[in-house]
Amino acid sequence: MTAQVLIARLSGLLVLAVALFGAAAEVSVAAEDGPIPDPPSLGARGHLLLDFNSGAILAEEGSDERLEPASLTKIMTAYVIFRELSAGNLALDDEASISEKAWRTGGSKMFIEVGKRVSIEDLLKGMIVQSGNDASVALAEHLAGDEATFAELMNREARRLGMTNSNFVNATGLPDPQHYTTPRDIATVAAAVIREFPEYYAWYSLPEFTYNNIKQSNRNRLLERDPSVDGIKTGHTQAAGYCLVSSAERDGRRLIAVVMGTAGDAERVADSQALLNYGFNFFETHRPFPGGEPVETLRVWGGSETGLPVGPARDLYITIPRGRYAQLSAELEPAPDITAPVSWGDVVGEIVLRLGDTEIRREPAVALADVRRGNLLRRGWDSVVQLF
């Protein structure tokens, strides 16, 4: 590709970026005079604040430290069950027979009874809202036969999600030396639940659930304190301390806060609220390029067509400090000499985002159309043109 053609194409992309960014900049906060404040100082053993759409980490400390998750484990338990429901291997109205082991499991309970049959939907709500250990074991046994086999499924899903510092040995989070995770890993599975199963995620905001004439309230007190919070799970054992994974959505933007190992319930609520407020108040998230929409047309050599529309395969979100959107710029770095055949989804370059002079993100630019090989005449002519 000649330098003139490359410059022309990049100039076209920059014009598009200015149009996109400029429109958003009109409604953004005026540029800040100085850097944003440091994240709040928390008493938790580990914490992490994640922007759901962009994946940006806005605050973290001890985020890769292996910690006991207590009932945060049930986020992964639910994720496994949700996957089976989605695959058609389970149905919400299926009924599980309650074993003596499930009934006897200590800790928080849904109060199911031995020998009774309980629907998968009720067991899920009992686990999500009431944090029922008995419900967790019953779900594990119904799906996998026993809890140990179910834990293997949990670990398989954890590896698939990229949770590299987690190991699960039970479905409840009851203490075990080999049962651990990290704030980063828990944020990963929490985001997966929200992204993949929004219809089930709605249950995490239920204020209460009644089963067997026993009404229990949701243990997540942030649901009452902050109307933007709609999930997700508390956890507590003496060894793990008090834990909370919370998620909130304000003005179309979602954050996930993970707080593990605080001294009490009040502390986990205050720490989680502090993280969420920090992320919403000092950062902003934008979508400069929608997924599947062209940002530029590149030259294809030896093809049935000479032009190839390219762009991100998925929505490209970016999180930046508040008030600096006008400083954001974009550039397309195309692969050299793109030659047919080209298939939809083939990586043909990179979209580079910069904030001021600092590169902050690269996203693959993919082909958004198929281009077949051209006929002999076309290929021959392009070969001659490429020489010059």
The pLDDT tens digits for 136-154 are 999 999 999 999 999 999 9
Confidence of residue 19 (pLDDT cuts 50, 70, 90): very low
Confidence of residue 14 (pLDDT cuts 50, 70, 90): very low
What are the strands of the beta sheet with 46-51, ordered from one edge? 57-61, 46-51, 253-262, 241-250, 229-237
Q: Tell me the per-residue pLDDT of 61-112, one tens digit each, with 9 for 90 and over.
A: 999 999 999 999 999 999 999 999 999 999 999 999 999 999 999 999 999 9
For the chain, give every domain's residue range.
Answer: 3-29+290-387, 46-283
User: What's the confidence (pLDDT) of residue 385?
Assistant: 74
Confidence of residue 124 (pLDDT cuts 50, 70, 90): very high
Spelled out in words, what is the top-level CATH class assigned to the domain 3-29+290-387?
mainly beta
Asked whether residue 281 carries a pLDDT value surpassing 90, the answer given is yes
Confidence of residue 382 (pLDDT cuts 50, 70, 90): low
Q: pTM of the entire structure?
A: 0.87
- 209: helix, coil or strand? strand
User: What's the confidence (pLDDT) of residue 361?
Assistant: 94
Other C-beta atoms within 10 Å of 5: how many? 12
Q: Determine the topology of domain 46-283 in CATH.
A: Beta-lactamase (3.40.710)
Instruction: Give the residue from 188, 189, 172, 228 showing the smallest Cα distance to 205.
Output: 228
Confidence of residue 375 (pLDDT cuts 50, 70, 90): confident
Which has the minimum average pLDDT: 12-21, 250-259, 290-299?
12-21
Choosing from 74, 109, 125, 233, the catalytic residue is 74
> Taking residues 35-55, what's their average pLDDT?
96
Q: Residue 240 gets which letter from DSSP? A: T
Phi, psi for 255 (deg, rounded to 5): -120, 150
Cis peptide leading into residue 341 (ω within 30°):
yes
Q: Tell me the per-residue pLDDT of 321-374, one tens digit each, with 9 for 90 and over.
A: 999 999 999 999 999 989 989 999 999 999 999 999 999 999 999 999 999 987
Asked whether residue 5 carries a pLDDT value surpassing 70, the answer given is no
Choosing from 131, 166, 246, 272, the catalytic residue is 131
Q: CB-based burial of residue 43 (10 Å sphere; 0-12 exposed, 13-18 middle, 19+ buried)?
A: middle
User: What's the confidence (pLDDT) of residue 21?
Assistant: 32
Q: To 5 degrees, how large is the angle CA 108–CA 166–CA 61?
A: 90
Whether residue 166 lies in the annotated active site: no
- Strands, E, within 263-306: which ranges? 283-289, 296-299
Asked whether residue 381 carries a pLDDT value surpassing 80, the answer given is no
Confidence of residue 301 (pLDDT cuts 50, 70, 90): confident
User: What's the confidence (pLDDT) of residue 149?
Assistant: 98
Contact between residue 84 and residue 124 where contact means Cβ atoms under 8 Å apart:
no
Choosing from 54, 71, 99, 247, the catalytic residue is 71
Whether residue 246 lies in the annotated active site: no
Q: Which amino acid is at 243?
A: C
Whether residue 71 lies in the annotated active site: yes
